[in-house]
Amino acid sequence: MMDKTPRVTGIGGIFFKANNPEQMRKWYSKYLGLNTDKYGTIFEFRQADDPQKKGYLQWSPFPEDTDYFDPAKTQFMINYRVNDLEGLFENLRESEVEIIGEMQSYEYGKFAHIMDPEGNKIELWEPVDEVFEEMYG
């Protein structure tokens, strides 16, 4: 039986700043075989609690001057997959965790941002994997 407690279930994306994101995508494609597009690339996997379902992880270089990682001063941001973002977000609001902005909903999932104790911005994502299945499957 799957645990429904609001929690992180895995990595959803790895984002980092690059001086030249296009050049980085091309380098990773040429030398490491990543199938990149203008956003980066998608890695597909099978979900541990239901191997019939696919999951996706986004890898993306961002421009050096992006404000998407703000207020963090780091060169990277990790996106974590979450099974119940509304529940987790409510739990975080009631705690001492620093919340950045409000939860956002899109066709491909819900997103929220928090800061860890060392000032790293974290993106939380409750994915709608079926949208990626249609796009990349």
What's the Cα-to-Cα distance from 23 to each of 4, 18, 30, 35, rounded to whole Å? 41, 9, 10, 14
Strand partners, 50: 47
- The per-residue pLDDT for 1 is 45
* Model confidence at 51: pLDDT above 80: yes
* Model confidence at 2: pLDDT above 60: no
Contact yes or no for 19/27 (Cβ under 8 A): no
- The per-residue pLDDT for 3 is 60
Contacts of 103 (CB under 8 A, 6+ apart): 85, 86, 89, 110, 111, 112
* Model confidence at 133: pLDDT above 80: no
Contacts of 19 (CB under 8 A, 6+ apart): 64
What are the pLDDT digits (tens) for 7-45? 998 899 999 999 999 999 999 999 989 999 999 999 988
What is the domain partition of the chain in residue ranges? 26-75+90-136
- The per-residue pLDDT for 137 is 63
